[in-house]
Structure 1
């Protein structure tokens, strides 16, 4: 995938109070982890960070521009407020071009609406993400599943996707996991029960 670009600044003051002050000023605190290097504390503009997350998701790769230098990173964790659902803090992992990274990639279903209209059925998604390992240049934004040709009774497993056979990826999720299936809609017309007259029943109450 094409990396998103985002500007960041080094921050020297840590602590909850300073983080709260940053958020009030329109920034989000974050850190960059790197193997063999000190953890780097940064701040990012709230508006720009949310734009990137909304467009590319919260597990993608980003080119962070810090002091006119580009640092390729992976979003490792986005911490949100439990009630307001706003971003409070972001953890990044610095990437090396020659080192593989293990991560979870969300599954994106394509063609859901068209197949549900065509069949009057329902697409059920059972696998939401795939755990894999690859070099940074091969990190996908999504694992895409096309369901437009599904018929009733059909399922798509992880083993059916090209990514499961691609030598650039090591897949840790079980390959026989079902990703999606097409089932009948639960909306059935109620069948009116036919009332049986008393004289047509197998045993008349008059015989008792």
Structure 2
């Protein structure tokens, strides 16, 4: 049986962009309430505090008062700021307890896969929630699936999730739920020596053209006047 939680909402009078921005600055969340038959909608406002309390309650069905009439609703759509995660807008859909609804519920993985504990792999959860159809009173808070038997390279699909007979799965059964894959290895970059660097001298400068050769030749040449002195000595003998 789904939990229920009461939240306080008020009809929203500020409909323009300026009015909506002012509400958000005051810690309020603008939204829309849609009647069960979707024939009418009412602009509403709810405080950030009341919204977060409702989420923490774990309930899936919420009790509100629209005018003088009490109504059961679902959080159908919640928009968040991409940077601050502030709630920007919320849609509440009225429901009838005797009519089935489409809703998404979280999937929790339990157990430690042998592919992780014994084979060094990592678990990857590709699907974190599934869509179902059921009566509002039968909506589960979440569903669990045991993955302890997964070995390295194994994968499981959504179809293995065991649901109550009162619940119909909408998400395709062949949708990948989780898998155990090889851990990514960090590859160290290979440093390739630049050809120019190989010819740099100790000061980090590239020798001028012909500079290296002239130094080599100077070491091989005899001292200036060396041959002439030898000839002179030979003549004197």
Q: TM-score, normalised by structure 2?
A: 0.66
Cα distance, 1:114–1:61 mapped onto 2, change above 3 Å: farther
**Unpaired segments ≥5 residues, structure 1:** 191-208
CA shift for structure 1 position 137:
1.0
Match of 1:82 in 2: 82
Match of 2:128 in 1: 128
Q: Which one of the candidate residues 164, 172, 175 is aligned to 2:173?
A: 175
**RMSD of equivalent CA atoms:** 3.0
Asked if structure 2 preserves the Cα contact closer than 8 Å seen for 1:115 and 1:147, the reply is no
Q: Which one of the candidate residues 26, 41, 44 is aligned to 2:43?
A: 41
Asked if structure 2 preserves the Cα contact closer than 8 Å seen for 1:112 and 1:123, the reply is no
SS at match of 2:79: strand
CA distance in 1, matches of 2:117, 2:6: 38
CA-to-partner distance for each residue in 1:109-147, whole Å, 9 max, x for gaps?
233599744553211112232122111111222232222
SS at match of 1:156: strand
Structure-to-structure mapping, 1:82-161, within 5 angstroms: 82-111=82-111, 116-117=116-117, 119-161=119-161
Q: TM-score, normalised by structure 1?
A: 0.74
**Unpaired segments ≥5 residues, structure 2:** 189-237
Count, aligned residues: 186
Larger Rg: 2
Asked if structure 1 preserves the Cα contact closer than 8 Å seen for 2:113 and 2:150, the reply is no
